[in-house]
Amino acid sequence: MSFALQENFPELKPPLTPMAIQEEASRCLECGGAYDRAPCASACPSGIDIPAFISALHKGDFASANRIVFSENPLAGTCARVCPTPVLCEGACVLSFVGLPAVDIGRLQRAAADFAPNRLNVPSLKDHTGRVAIIGAGPTGLALAAELAGMGERVTIYDENPDPGGMVRYAIAPYRQQVEPLDSEIQPLRERGVKFRFNTRIAGREAFLALEAESDAIFLGVGLGADVDPHLPGQHLFGVWQALAFIRALKDGNPLAVGRSTVVIGGGNTAMDVAREALRLGSEQVIVVYRRDRESMPAYGYEIQEAEKEGIRFNWLAAPIRFLGTAWLEGIECQYQELIHRSGSRSEPRAIPDALFTLKADTAIIAIGQSVRRELSEWVPGLQFEHGKLIVNPENGQTRNPKYFAGGDVVGGQSVVEAVKWAKQAAKGIHQYLAGEK
């Protein structure tokens, strides 16, 4: 019997009913105006005019609401489901400052976006026909393709995977978004003539030289790489999984086995996701082990609270030192840590000598971050990384090699809506660069 994602991972935020849409839309105070942007709209990285689309919904004019959200964000349906709204638009809603719940902007946006597919209603400027190669069909590459296709450029997207979407398809928790509406957001790109080359990894100087010869500009929307490897003894044991492989198998409908006791290693949003996924896959006890304290966790505070509410436990100031077992995982030896505070930088964990303890576990999921795709700087002259980010001009996404632009996670983005923001900036940058080249 195949594993049914829909049944086991029901949506955390299902769509609003028609009546709830009206009720929720009526709560919006329509802040802002001709001279001032509403706080929620200023907090949206993709620049959606939130009061305008909510006002349209309130009037029952779904077609206008739909146009408004897609005019700023070609992935508005995806963002509506996956955006960390409590720290973005909803976090800025004035209602929350007077003790009321913020307007449910995410779900209202979903109602607007789901009304009809994006028609890419940006006017096409047919006199520009620059050839742009985009490496990476994640949200950054897709949003950029939408912008450039609307500007009349000829776009080809290359991706090493068999399907588009990057981390949205392969990593975002299925209780937020399984796949749809990703595919229906990509369809208009195909209709606009964007070409896709899947199962095609662009790697090595030769491959980039070939691409340079047939393109006027190249965009790197390559995201981050594989899971960081902790290099711990016993990692090979059955039941020790890396986070990205674990989630990908789950989203493909073939989840990896989890036992009764799962230990998740890490303190970021991915760690919160895999902990909640393990719980839904049947683990009775899920413990997150993190080497710093609660306040230092990179995960959003609201994600930690939601995980706690679901019954996930935390073991702060502890780090794994080896996985125990013969063929299957049986436990994890850990060591308590203390934090060494340094002025001006993040406090560093230091192992407390002899402070060892063992957690019984039959599953461990390692979620300590993704690697940086530094190899790019060996393949493309001029590319430089600093603090794990590819350096670009933040105004237009241009790298230090003028033919190359970049955006999204590879330059430090952390969410789909930030990917859209980077794509919009790079689209203008590439368009101007191509006009200059002409």
Contact residues for ligand SF4, defined by CB under 6 A:
44, 46, 48, 50, 73, 79-80, 83, 85, 88-89, 105-106, 109, 417
**Using the rule CB under 6 A, which residue among 416, 420, 426, 430 binds ligand FAD?**
416
Q: Counting contacts by CB under 6 A, is residue 419 touching ligand FAD?
A: yes
Q: Which amino acid is at 189?
A: L
315: which 2 tokens? 């073991």
Q: Counting contacts by CB under 6 A, is residue 140 touching ligand FAD?
A: yes
The mark string for 69-108 relative to ligand FAD (x by CB under 6 A, - otherwise) is -------------xx-------------------------
CB 43 within 8 A of CB 111: no
Choose from ligand FAD, ligand SF4, none: what does 46 bind? Cβ within 5-8 Å by kind.
ligand SF4
Nearest to ligand SF4 of 44, 182 (CB atom): 44
Phi, psi (degrees; rounded to nearest 5) at 46: -90, -5
Q: Counting contacts by CB under 6 A, is residue 172 touching ligand FAD?
A: yes
Closest distance of CB 73 from ligand SF4, Å: 5
DSSP 241-267: EEHHHHHHHHHTT-PPP--SEEEEE--
Q: Counting contacts by CB under 6 A, is residue 21 touching ligand FAD?
A: no
CA–CA distance, 262 with 119 (Å, rounded to integer): 45
Choose from ligand SF4, ligand FAD, none: what does 413 bind? Cβ within 5-8 Å by kind.
ligand FAD
Residues 320-379 close enough to bind ligand FAD by CB under 6 A: none
Name the burial class of residue 383, with classes exposed (0-12), middle (13-18) and buried (19+) by CB atoms within 10 angstroms of its CB: buried
The beta strands (E) that lie in 311-381 are given as 313-315, 318-325, 329-342, 345-360, 363-366
Choose from ligand SF4, ligand FAD, none: what does 405 bind? Cβ within 5-8 Å by kind.
none
Which residues are 48's β-sheet partners? none
Closest distance of CB 90 from ligand SF4, Å: 7
CB 253 within 8 A of CB 169: no
Nearest to ligand FAD of 111, 144 (CB atom): 144
Q: Counting contacts by CB under 6 A, is residue 182 touching ligand FAD?
A: no
Choose from ligand SF4, ligand FAD, none: what does 113 bind? Cβ within 5-8 Å by kind.
none
Residues 211-240 close enough to bind ligand FAD by CB under 6 A: 221-223
**Using the rule CB under 6 A, which residue among 114, 330, 362, 409 binds ligand FAD?**
409
CA–CA distance, 93 with 204 (Å, rounded to integer): 47
Taking Cα atoms as reference points, which of 342, 320, 317, 347 lies closest to residue 331? Answer: 320
DSSP 145-186: HHHHHHTT-EEEEE-SSSSS-THHHHTS-TTT-SSTTHHHHH
Q: String of b and e for 150-178 (b: at least 16 CB within 10 Å)?
A: bbbbbbbbbbebebbbbbbbbbbbbbbbb
Closest distance of CB 151 from ligand SF4, Å: 21
415: which 2 tokens? 């969410």
Closest distance of CB 185 from ligand SF4, Å: 13
Contact positions vs ligand FAD (CB under 6 A): 82-83, 135-141, 158-161, 166-168, 171-172, 176, 201-203, 221-223, 247, 270, 273, 408-409, 413-417, 419
